[in-house]
Each structure stands twice: as C-alpha cells, then as structure tokens.
C-alpha cells in the first residue's frame, strides 16, 4: 500500500507542476471595450484616467471603464519614502488597484485632477509627466496630496492605451518642479 500512495503522490505532484505553469502563463483578460472618446487622443485618455477614479463618497467607480484604458499586462506603481527613509514601491495590475484602492476612493471620496503636463512622443509611444493634486471633495480648499504621475502610453494605430502609471507624491524636499506645473501649449 505505501508504494501505491507514493506513486499517487508523485503523479499528483507531476500533474500539479504541469497545470500551475500553464495557468501562470495565461494572458491577462482582454479589457472591456473602451469608449471611443476616451482613447482617441493623449488628452482624452489622460482626462478619462483622472475622471474614472474621481467622485464623491458613496459613488461606485466604473471599473470596467477604468480597465478599458489599460493594455493587457499594464501596471500601476506607486512609490514613496517610508518612515524609516527607505524608498518603497508596489507593483499592481489595474484589477489590483481597483480591489485595493477602489473601496477607499468610494468610501472617502476622491477627486484627482491634472495641474500640469509635459509630454514626449516618438512614433507609437508617449511619455506623460502629469502633475496632479488630490482632494476628498471637489470643494476642498486645499489638496491632501499632490505629485507626478509618470504615464506611458501606446498608440496601436487605432487607439491609445495606458501601459503603466508610476507615481510619486510631493513631500518635504520633493516638491513638484515649476516646469511640470505649466500646462502645455494649446491646453
């Protein structure tokens, strides 16, 4: 009987080893179709990105719309300095962000707006340094946070996609440089 149990355990382990890598290599699910107006230009996709996460306390966010902005495999990466002085970062998928930050945004209210931008584009890629401020209500006199979102975009010939959003917040010794607070010409 022990030999049978040993063979069964080995067969189970081999099956698990074959199944786990296949599941780990599955492509991310395709996002819901985007609103054409949200992805028609760099300006449009940046505006949609801020709009979809913003809203008053108690308002559900449209996470399908949020996901529709991101290329499959996209990442969101907040960074900052911990109380011990160590620089930290966290890598999330759009689904991770919705699951972890979504309840807080919806419970407390959250309004983030762009307060300046610098854009560089080459062919089908663009990099946007988007300065922002964040408030709990649109009427708050002062933001509770501000910083810069470093947003990488891809144009696939038909629409714009967010590839990554990597951000850092203002803090003592890390103010937003004036060159990032000036709106781009034509905006």
Strand order in the sheet with 145-155: 87-89, 70-81, 160-169, 145-155, 125-135, 111-122
Report percent pLDDT > 70 for the chain. Answer: 81
Alpha helix locations (H) across 25-131? 42-53, 63-68, 94-108
107-133 average pLDDT score: 97
Q: What is the per-residue pLDDT for 28?
A: 58
Residue range 166-175, pLDDT digits in tens: 999 999 999 9
Q: Is residue 153 classed exposed, middle or buried when 0-12, 13-18 and 19+ CB atoms within 10 A define those classes?
A: buried
The answer on pLDDT for 9 being more than 90 is no
Fold topology of 36-180: Nuclear Transport Factor 2; Chain: A, (3.10.450)
Q: What is the per-residue pLDDT for 23?
A: 42
Secondary structure of residue 184 in the 3-state scheme: coil
Q: What is the per-residue pLDDT for 186?
A: 41
In sequence order, what are the residues at sequence separation of 6 or more whose Cβ sits closer than 8 angstroms to the Cβ of residue 28?
Answer: 72, 73, 93
Q: Which pair of tokens denotes residue 83?
A: 């109380």
* Torsion sign across C-alpha atoms 131, 135, 137, 141: negative
Q: What is the per-residue pLDDT for 32?
A: 80
Instruction: Give the start-to-end residue ranges of the domains of the chain.
Output: 36-180
Q: What is the per-residue pLDDT for 158?
A: 97
The answer on pLDDT for 4 being more than 50 is no
């Amino acid at each position: 009987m022990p030999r049978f149990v040993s063979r069964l355990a080995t067969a189970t382990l081999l099956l698990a080893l074959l199944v786990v890598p296949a599941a780990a290599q599955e492509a991310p699910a395709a996002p819901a179709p985007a609103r054409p107006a949200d992805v028609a230009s760099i300006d449009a996709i940046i505006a949609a990105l801020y709009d979809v996460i913003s809203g008053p306390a108690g308002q559900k966010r449209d996470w399908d719309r949020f996901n529709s902005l991101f290329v499959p495999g996209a990442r969101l990466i907040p960074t900052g300095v911990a109380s011990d002085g160590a620089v930290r970062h966290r890598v999330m998928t759009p689904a991770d962000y919705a699951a972890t930050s979504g309840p807080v945004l919806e419970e407390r209210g959250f309004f983030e707006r762009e307060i300046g931008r610098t854009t560089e584009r080459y062919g089908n890629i663009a990099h946007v340094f988007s300065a922002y401020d964040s408030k709990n209500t649109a009427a708050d006199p002062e933001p509770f946070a501000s910083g810069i979102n470093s947003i990488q975009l891809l144009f696939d010939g038909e629409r714009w996609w967010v590839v990554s959003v990597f951000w850092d917040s203002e803090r003592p010794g890390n103010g937003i440089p004036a060159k990032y607070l000036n709106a781009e010409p034509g905006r």
